[in-house]
């Protein structure tokens, strides 16, 4: 048995027309934006058929994204120690963080069918380029007892197939969809308070069972922390676009964003601008669960017409 973990992340920028563009809200140094990127064809030759995505590198929007922060708990109170991220996994003959490589890109963790993937992870790096601010230093010290100077995290280069999902790609560029969530299978988790290791939910300690209570535990030496789980035996499985991270049950109707690039024209649909259209797309994604099927169909019809 294993546990499935998710955590929200944000894009750092995107690549379009031979130029890197940084997202307005991000000033994080990116290994990909500062150091270039690999040959896209390397990945597409391997995964295009399995994921049902284009083989043409020109069809992709490239998005560098922060995936996993080292040595501190995320909003779900799950964490990945630096030692776990850099551990060599002999079964996959790679370090743990590198298990992201070539994994699919979905919407809202709808990951049961690889054919609905919107793209894939082209490359993955352990980013140690950014200085840790006081907030990060305090969080890492509270969670691990370490004193750090850099904000270390796993960075992904995600390729989004603009021909399979042009609306999603447009929403990334406008910023109306600007949050990702990673998915991972972990063999066990260790409580950050008492050190209990659980391989099934039945083995969780009292701290993990109440980790969202907001209670803080004094660990001594100036450390006080809310309960959290350190993940062990990690295999990263996918990276998803999520429309509303606060609503963990949010789902997007299958096919909602599947608009053919051969017919879609974002500047002329109903006279709407790119920004206006992306706002409609974002609203539709966020409220797909409560919108009637007829309205969702109408949105798709207008997106696919000139």
Average pLDDT, the chain: 78
**C-beta of residue 192 within 8 angstroms of C-beta of residue 204:** no
Cβ neighbours for 21, distance < 8 A, ≥ 6 positions apart: 13, 14, 15, 173
DSSP state of 84: H
Q: Judge residue 167's burial from the number of C-beta atoms within 10 Å of its C-beta, 0-12 exposed, 13-18 middle, 19 or more buried.
A: buried
Other C-beta atoms closer than 10 Å to the C-beta of 275 total 13
**Please, which pLDDT band fits residue 119 given cuts at 50, 70 and 90?**
very high
Three-state SS at 216:
strand
Q: How confident is the model at residue 176 (pLDDT cuts 50, 70, 90)?
A: confident
Spatial separation of the C-alpha atoms in residues 141 and 129, rounded to whole Å: 19
Look at the alpha carbons of 241, 243, 247, 250 in this order and tell me if their dihedral is positive or negative.
negative
Query: Nearest 5°: phi and psi at 274?
Result: -55, -45
Q: What is the largest CA-CA distance in the chain?
A: 65
Per-residue DSSP letter, 109: T
pLDDT, greater one: 231 or 261: 231
Closest to 82 (Cα-Cα) out of 32, 146, 133, 4? 146
What integer pLDDT is reported at residue 22 of this predicted model?
59
Q: How many CB atoms lie within 10 A of CB 116?
A: 18
Neighbours of 300 (CB within 10 A): 18
| CA proximity to 240, closest of 155, 117, 153 | 117
The whole-number pLDDT of residue 247 equals: 28
**Strand, helix or coil for residue 210:** coil
Give the mean pLDDT of 251-275. Answer: 38
Nearest one of 62, 57, 65 to 31, comparing CA atoms: 65
- Closest to 67 (Cα-Cα) out of 21, 141, 6, 108: 6
pLDDT at 260 over 60: no
Question: What does the DSSP 8-state code read for residue 289?
Answer: T
Examine the pLDDT at 177 and tell me if it is beyond 90. no
154: left (phi over 0), alpha (psi -120 to 50) or beta: beta
- Specify the 3-state DSSP secondary structure of 259: coil
Token pair, residue 93, equals 């003959």
DSSP state of 61: E
Q: How far apart are CA 116 and CA 110, in angstroms?
A: 8
pLDDT for position 295: 67
- Residue extents of the structural domains in the chain: 3-251
End-to-end Cα spacing for the chain:
50
What's the pLDDT tens digit per position in 30-59? 655 555 545 678 889 999 999 999 999 889
Q: Answer whether 180's CB lies under 8 Å from 170's CB.
A: no
Q: How far apart are CA 183 and CA 229, in angstroms?
A: 15
pTM (global) more than 0.85:
no
pLDDT of 25 over the 80 cut = no
């Amino acid at each position: 048995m294993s546990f499935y973990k998710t955590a929200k992340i944000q894009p750092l920028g995107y690549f379009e027309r031979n130029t890197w563009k940084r997202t307005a809200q991000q000033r994080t140094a990116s290994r990909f934006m500062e150091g270039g990127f690999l040959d896209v064809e390397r990945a597409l030759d391997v995964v295009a058929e399995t994921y049902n995505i284009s083989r043409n590198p020109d069809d992709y929007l490239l998005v560098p994204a922060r995936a996993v922060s080292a040595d501190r708990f995320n909003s779900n109170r799950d964490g990945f120690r630096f030692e776990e991220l850099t551990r060599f996994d002999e079964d996959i003959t790679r370090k743990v963080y590198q298990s992201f490589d070539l994994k699919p890109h979905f919407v809202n963790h709808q990951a049961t069918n690889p054919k609905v993937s919107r793209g894939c992870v082209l490359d993955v790096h352990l980013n140690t380029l950014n200085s840790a601010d006081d907030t990060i230093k305090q969080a890492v010290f509270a969670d691990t007892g370490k004193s750090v100077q850099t904000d270390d995290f796993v960075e992904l280069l995600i390729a989004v197939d603009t021909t399979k999902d042009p609306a999603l790609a447009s929403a990334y560029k406008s910023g109306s969809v600007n949050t990702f969530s990673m998915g991972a299978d972990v063999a066990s988790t260790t409580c950050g308070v008492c050190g209990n290791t659980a391989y099934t939910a039945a083995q969780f300690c009292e701290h993990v069972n109440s980790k969202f209570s907001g209670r803080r535990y004094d660990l001594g030496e100036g450390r006080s922390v809310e309960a959290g789980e350190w993940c062990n035996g990690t295999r990263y499985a996918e990276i998803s676009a999520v429309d509303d991270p606060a609503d963990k049950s949010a789902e997007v109707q299958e096919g909602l964003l599947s608009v053919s690039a051969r017919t879609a024209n974002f500047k002329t649909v109903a006279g709407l601008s790119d920004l206006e259209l992306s706002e409609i797309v974002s609203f539709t994604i966020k409220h797909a669960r409560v919108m009637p099927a007829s309205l969702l169909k109408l949105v798709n019809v207008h997106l696919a017409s000139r």
